[in-house]
Chains A and B, each alone.
Chain A
């Protein structure tokens, strides 16, 4: 074979392209209005982390109220000012605003923008082998719309009437009538503006992700050779593209109701004995529209985390992912089902019981693909050469949460059982485990795993281990007791239960939850220290620290604009050739052709090589049997 020729060929390319893709610009074009996907990913990451910190602190403030209802919170007055009542308690309307903001921030700003925005932007071009996103400009707009949206939401935290207080689901009429509570005034307006901008940002991002995955894959990167991360980001973007416009429609109608006097969601409301002019609206209609986004949103949050986990677990078990096609199929199935189960959030809205039974059935079917995924994670781990890196620990943590949280989904998805459990702490426990903590763990796992590619340095593994164990135990200490509290009938979003004698027996459990929440939040500062310290002082990362097969590890330590200095590498195999019998090393990167690994090829792969040899020197036509 023409080994010598081609070496020359490669070297020549090295020289040609090195300078083409070097990116010179000033501070503004390099760091602020940058169109490079890696920089945009970092912008999303840092903004997402800032929001996560704010969201976490808000949750600890309302946990203080719930765990220690008698304690004086006078010491918070320097920060919260008038929101602390003269008796030293949190203002009850501000409590609602805290809960609303915690939900909105965590679901949208952290686990949608922070997770998808970071990892889709970073990994899609690097793992499919593209120089950048399909449209760098749209990608930049996507971040800056998100930033603008963040700015509106952040501003709403500081206005005198407080941020939106109608819950993250913003059900009318509470959210539609400014006179209902303080939080439904300017805070709600800012919430709606912020969400509208957020949706624009998500759609711009999603269009880019899908276009890049479909159209800009490198040679040989067929759909069945894509890493599962890419499949997950793809389904996430498709779900987002189809569901966010519906929320946009709902938000617009709500804006019309609030500011222009229409009656889409309002009807026959009396305030202080006087009838409002709104006639003919339907508040349930908003719930239908909201949950048509709201339920797919759960998977928008979860699927990227599952994709990241698949990749990390396979890499650190040194085994091919078990059931690659089953993983893709189950994600597809979850994506489809996510659009036909929204009404399980509305079982108690007076829905026709027959309709309820249909939604129950559809909801319970989601357990099938979810269980397939859990089994595949476990069977991938089974008898693997496990390496407990920080990323791996958090990935295994995700599998644990996905299981414990998923099982309670079977209870809640049942329309009969839901009558008891609806809007109790059982629901809070369920979704915080399966969607909140699981996705959060996926995000953290991804940061630990791809940190060497983000910043060219390694994070500290020992601090990562401490961070994991404190967070993992902490999360279970927070959310496991909530199941009992929920079954006992505690409703969520209540400021205080001290008026109900029946609930006083759970005071100590609530205190435990609050203490665990404070410890869990505290543990995140270990991570923050590790993160920022390692950016500048971490150990220098080797080119492929985890011995992974995917394309991003073939780039230089600090990939420039354009990612690969020479030609984009071609792909010859799937992403999971770990510990292949007979192979020299325990992984074979995707860029190694089968003809170079005769010792480990399977019979059908040897046939591919024969085909190549037969055409020696010629280019194999694309439509030859594959």
Chain B
């Protein structure tokens, strides 16, 4: 029987729909991150609706960090285009700028926490403040993971492993970076509206 199985080469079966498994896995991972922050932001709304909610202004520096992360998305995209057109020098420059902007973003977030502390909004206290720390903190943690990814991509770039024929890694890094950028924009708008 088994010999006969392979006989019908003419009956070439359809190739099933498929994409690069690693890219696909990254999208699934981003879905879990979305669910994590969706759970916290919905918990925020539910908790806020119950009253006893301490009001305070969001640190102004969060607006600055939003701008920074948007610019870093642009530089990341320019880097990706550079990789696509095989201009390694521009790619490396853009990766470095993106990473520096990422670090500035993290610094701004920490300054934002300092601002909260000066307003007497502490991690321990009314949940309205604790939520802001948890949400920004864990977003920052994800930015750290993206920075590590960026370092790995920089290393590959310095060894000429990223070019128009081998884009999977930088594509994934770009996707993840944009994702975290948009996630922050969502969180920023969410926190601004739900005061």
Give A contacts to B, CB under 8 Å: 1-3, 6-7, 9-10, 134-135, 138, 203, 206-208, 210-212, 214-223, 241-246, 248-250, 252-253, 256, 260-264, 267, 279-282, 285, 288-289, 292, 554, 567, 569-572, 589, 591-596, 609, 612-613, 615-620, 622, 626
Contact = CB atoms under 8 A, between A and B. Distances in A.
A285 B6 contact: no
Given A260-B124, A593-B11, A215 B39 contact: no
Given A210-B28, A249-B36, A280-B126, A220 B13 contact: yes
Interface in B90-145: 123-128, 130-131, 134, 138
Given A135-B22, A208-B25, A289-B43, A615 B127 contact: no
Nearest to A133: B21
Nearest to B31: A241
B interface SS class: helix
Nearest to A614: B10
Given A3-B7, A135-B21, A612-B10, 18 more contacts: A1-B8, A7-B7, A10-B6, A211-B24, A215-B20, A246-B35, A262-B124, A264-B130, A264-B131, A280-B125, A281-B47, A282-B46, A570-B12, A572-B8, A596-B8, A612-B11, A620-B11, A622-B14
A263 B126 CA distance: 7
Q: How large is the interface on B (under 10, 10 to 19, 20 to 34, 35 or more residues)?
A: 35 or more
Contact of B10 (A207, A243, A252, A617): A617
Contacts of A613: 10
Contacts of B38: 246
Contact of B7 (A6, A215, A615, A622): A6
19 contacts: A203-B29, A212-B21, A215-B24, A218-B16, A221-B16, A223-B16, A241-B28, A241-B31, A241-B32, A242-B31, A245-B33, A246-B36, A249-B43, A252-B138, A262-B124, A264-B127, A280-B125, A282-B127, A619-B12
B52 interface: yes
A210 B32 CA distance: 13
Contacts of A264: 43, 47, 127, 130-131
Contact of B15 (A219, A263, A285): A219
A216 B25 contact: no
A580 B123 CA distance: 67
B193 interface: no
A242 B36 CA distance: 9
Nearest to A249: B39
B21 A211 contact: yes
B57 interface: no
Contacts of A222: 14, 16
Contacts of B22: 134-135
Interface in B136-188: 138
A245 B41 CA distance: 13
A65 B138 CA distance: 45
A272 B92 CA distance: 63
A219 B12 CA distance: 8
A560 to B, nearest CB: 17
A289 B38 CA distance: 11
Contacts of A214: 17-19, 24
Nearest to A567: B6
Given A210-B28, A241-B28, A245-B35, A134 B47 contact: no
A245 B32 contact: yes
A220 B54 CA distance: 59
A216 B21 contact: yes
Contacts of B25: 134-135, 138, 207-208, 211
Nearest to A618: B10
A217 B21 CA distance: 11
A301 to B, nearest CB: 19
B125 A215 contact: no
Contacts of B46: 282, 285, 288
B21 A134 contact: yes
Given A1-B10, A219-B14, A288-B43, A596 B4 contact: yes
B13 A215 contact: no
A6 B6 contact: yes
A134 B25 CA distance: 9
A619 B14 CA distance: 10
A595 B2 contact: no
A218 B53 CA distance: 55
A537 B134 CA distance: 56
